[in-house]
A = this chain, B = another copy of it.
């Protein structure tokens, strides 16, 4: 038996020697397109493999479906490739079934199914003149026999209690939240219908899961752009907008509430669920999104000392927050850690489980505002890093979001300097997204086109470089290849944006490791969370020094762990309590006042880092090719 690991999920599966990659993928629960049913005729099951040596040789059918440049990138057809040893397989977006769904998923830890909302079908004894126990006490006594000790009851339910009980002929189903509040009273037996909804309010995207709380199954997944974008692309511009008046703040809150309600409506419609049968919603988001959603003044998040209004989890009646599930249902907003370490980051920890492991983990959620955690079950410390939007393709000349037409992966041949790239959707490129630009910087550095300072080496004379005014640019795709008719290039300014962003992230990790008294060698796991991290090439990330130099097998791309954590909190009261504890116990390090911050940041601007001994794998790559990386310049 051999192990195959699928990226970017990081999911491993053990299969017999001789199985195909398609079979292995099915075993790992990775859905790969296979329109011909595994006959090798449709060519839809294209995957990228790391180590061809452990696989069957390239077949005729594969050669028919894979272009020569793709062969060099490691493309294979999953249905034709037979496993002969342990290998790592990258499944690109275009080969996946249900692309939308995959984009919004993240790793998660198994939890015991124990939601905060429970249903109890009660067959009550009708009162008589000999038994005049009041309606509520009759109901509560029955609940007590089911182990629920005198919960409160919503005032509105109390009003209709007498009529409802009699109309139902004393046969009702009661929904209880957290063993302490009766939130619904339904006629007859409705125990089978118990749903919840989990939401991740991202700055760019709102993602929601509709979940059957009886089985724990996700029954619908929906996502949409965060409509707050109309009021500002990033968090700070939205806070500025909100600061201009109470109505503005309210508008931002309503906007995101409406988005969530649309997702709930669509998900319920798709799954054939009545929204009233959804009794709880769990919400995560960064601290600003959290404040907007709750209608809390966010202005003090934007000015030193960046203090949030509160840390602890909030529970509120759905109707009071205008969330259109069951009106007496509960909305649970997960706790935050600090002004720039939000409920989404708490969810990251929850979903990766770094707080439970004995092993030491580094967790990095890479984004405009990055969060970094270092620790294990004994203690975790955290910080936030102002990486800026470069990883989302912003402030990059030909940058774009990770959507159709974006170059998401690329390689530069060390010999010919020819560029091979993969675009999202497989068509002509129209720009380059975060993971593509990281690849570009790493590859340009590998090839000696740019140096450790990130500047173009003098004297390099190759066709894929061009001058635009005073600037040198590397041409990724020529005008004849692109969908726009203009070339896609990477210039000094773009490299610098990536250097600043990666230095911010790396500084966070380095300072936390120093605070924790550990080094890269002590790390057992490096989790890369967040949608961006998902399509990142770990080797490139290491080459530019975005992540510390650890063996690739220690790197786990965890995906959208924010929504995973929200889901865990929906399914499990224990997970929710853990989140509360994490928010309290995780120590927040304010990076900007750390004495090591400035020096570390300056060192981190280098590719991969000023002190090369910190990047032995990068060093050995060059050494094995006889290159002195300190003076490596293809032009000389």
Contact = CB atoms under 8 A, between A and B. Distances in A.
B320 A135 contact: no
A321 to B, nearest CB: 8
A133 B593 CA distance: 16
A8 B163 CA distance: 44
Given A295-B159, A296-B158, A135 B316 contact: no
Contacts of A300: 135, 162, 166
B306 A132 contact: yes
A419 interface: no
30 contacts: A128-B305, A129-B306, A129-B590, A129-B592, A130-B590, A132-B588, A132-B590, A134-B308, A134-B310, A134-B311, A135-B300, A135-B307, A135-B308, A135-B309, A135-B310, A136-B311, A136-B312, A137-B311, A155-B294, A155-B320, A158-B310, A158-B314, A159-B296, A159-B297, A161-B296, A161-B297, A161-B309, A162-B296, A162-B300, A162-B307
A192 interface: no
Given A155-B316, A162-B296, A163-B297, A305 B590 contact: no
Contacts of A588: 132
Contact of A129 (B166, B308, B593): B593
Given A135-B310, A136-B311, A294-B155, A162 B338 contact: no
A132 to B, nearest CB: 5
A307 B131 CA distance: 9
Nearest to A336: B134
A130 B295 CA distance: 27
B590 A158 contact: no
Interface string A156-187: 00111111001000000000000000000000
Given A134-B310, A136-B310, 18 more contacts: A128-B305, A129-B306, A131-B305, A132-B590, A133-B307, A134-B308, A134-B336, A135-B307, A135-B310, A137-B311, A137-B312, A155-B320, A158-B294, A159-B295, A159-B296, A159-B297, A162-B299, A162-B309
A127 interface: yes
Interface in A460-500: none
Nearest to A250: B159
Contacts of A338: 132
Contacts of A299: 162
A336 B137 CA distance: 12
A339 interface: yes
Nearest to A155: B316
Nearest to A152: B315
A304 interface: yes
A130 B304 CA distance: 11
A393 B321 CA distance: 53
Given A294-B155, A320-B155, A305 B134 contact: no
